Amino acid sequence: MLKSLIVGIDPGTNLGLVVIDDNGNIIDKLSGKNIQNEDIIKYISNLKHVVLIATDKKDIPKTILDIASKLNIGVYNPKEDISLEIKNKYYKDDNLKKIFENNHEFDAYISAIEALKKLKEIFEKAKRVSENQDEYIKILRYILKNRKVEAISAKNNLIKKEKEIKEKKKRRKTKIDKRDIEIIKVIIKNEKDKEEKEKIIEELNKKYIELLNDYNILSKILTERLKNNDNIIPKISFLYLNKIYYNRIFIDEFKEEYITYYKSKDVKFFVKRENLIEAKNIFPKFYIVDEFKELKNFIIVEKFHEEKSNIIENDIDEERLKKILKNYREHRLQNLL
């Protein structure tokens, strides 16, 4: 039997969240004070088959926009705020009174169940054209982010997209990325023997073709060869995900777990000029990259200079670091919105 889930959220200092299935059954609920977006995102990610987030407000709250964006899930918002008259019908329901502990859970449930009522036909059409559970969820997520798309069109578009992805992967097996050739050339540029250079290039090209389906494996191999090249610096996202230690790090993402993991280690941090303020709040000393070439997992530095802040080494505790990085993320989000 095909199944999908809707998550209703009543955001605020006191948050309420309720999960229902596409038959209107209540699956789960929670409420509490000062629940962080990251915790909600993790909670929803652990649920299977979530296809929609719902609110009772005409203007979608920023909290819900942020959560939906991170999860790549559509949002339902009514044409007008759900009225108190409609809500009172739910508030007075004796069965619901036994389930929900406060109005925040009630409002989250009302958001979800009203969304289901308005969109019930979409769910039914998606069921009719879906051959299995996985396809049903993909079609629903596609439609609920593009409301004017019919179920059969959504299915055809998804089939077409998956076919294009497969063809693209197939082409990658035989096509050498110019950026990787550039890395290879930089690696061997200081070699003296021309014949030895040609042998190294030939060997690396062979390895590249063999490992092209796993870009990070190739990058790990190259990282070992880069230790004597001061102008080639790996990105922190690549190093962290592969748990690699390196004495020079370019911060391409200011994520809490990245910074916390490497800040205590003996490394030099490099940042873009646009991240100067954030870096000064975190590091006593770092380097601004003025000119560089962008590669997938590395950068090639052409010009940089040292910067210092008033922070003393080990002066920032973990809680303050989390606050700085949280403010940075919120500032970036506001700029995007």
Closest CA to 288 of 297, 279, 300, 299: 279
The torsion angles phi and psi of 300, rounded to 5 degrees, stand at -105, 110
Q: Are 190 and 275 members of one domain?
A: no
Q: Is 287 in a helix, a strand, or coil?
A: strand
pLDDT at position 201 is 64
Residues of the chain with pLDDT under 70: 147, 165, 169-202, 204-219, 221-229, 312-337
Where among 147, 168, 189 does a domain terminate?
A: 168
Q: How many CB atoms lie within 10 A of CB 182?
A: 14
d(CA 176, CA 155): 33
Reported pTM: 0.50
pLDDT of residue 152: 78
Q: Is the residue at 95 inside a domain?
A: yes
The pLDDT of residue 111 is 96
**Would you state the pLDDT for residue 74?**
92
* Final residue belonging to a domain, choices 187, 209, 226: 226
Same domain, 32 and 130: yes
Same-domain pairing of 293 and 186:
no
Same domain, 53 and 117: yes
Q: What is the pLDDT of residue 41?
A: 94
Domain assignment present for 250: yes
The total number of structural domains that make up the chain? 3
Q: Are residues 183 and 163 in the same domain?
A: no
Residues 277 and 314 in one domain: yes
Orientation of helix 215-225 relative to helix 178-187, angle to 10°: 20
What is the dihedral angle through the alpha carbons of 294, 295, 300, 301, rounded to the nearest 10 degrees?
30
Asked if residue 93 lies in contact with residue 3, where contact means CB atoms within 8 angstroms, the answer is no
Cα separation of 144 and 165, whole Å?
Answer: 22
Tell me: do 251 and 319 sit in the same domain. yes
Host domain of residue 52: 5-168
Helix or strand (DSSP H, E) at 50: strand 50-54
Q: Which residues pair with 75 in a beta bridge?
A: 53
Does 253 lie in the same domain as 119?
A: no
Can you give the CATH number for the domain in which 117 is found? 3.30.420.140
In a domain, 173, yes or no: no
Residues 189 and 151 in one domain: no
Q: Are residues 97 and 204 in the same domain?
A: no
Q: Give residue 265's pLDDT.
A: 78
Supply the pLDDT for residue 155: 75
Measured between alpha carbons, how far is 42 from 50 in angstroms, rounded to an integer?
A: 13
Indicate the residue type of 131. E
The DSSP result for 82-134, as a single string, is PPHHHHHHHHT-HHHHHH-SSHHHHHHHHHHHHHHHHHHHHHHHHHHH-SSHH
Q: How many CB atoms lie within 10 A of CB 214?
A: 10
For residues 127 and 105, membership in a common domain is answered with yes
Name the residue among 288, 254, 253, 256 with its Cα closest to residue 269. Answer: 288
C-alpha span between 204 and 320 (Å, rounded): 44
Query: How far apart are the C-alpha atoms of 70 and 223, rounded to whole Å?
Result: 30
Domain finish residue from 168, 194, 218: 168
At 231 the pLDDT is 82
Classify strands 268-272 and 285-294 as parallel, antiparallel or unpaired.
Answer: parallel
Q: What pLDDT score does 337 carry?
A: 44
Query: Going by C-beta distance under 8 Å and a sequence separation of 6 or more, which residues neighbour residue 196?
Result: none
Looking at the structure, tell me whether residues 140 and 285 fall in a common domain: no
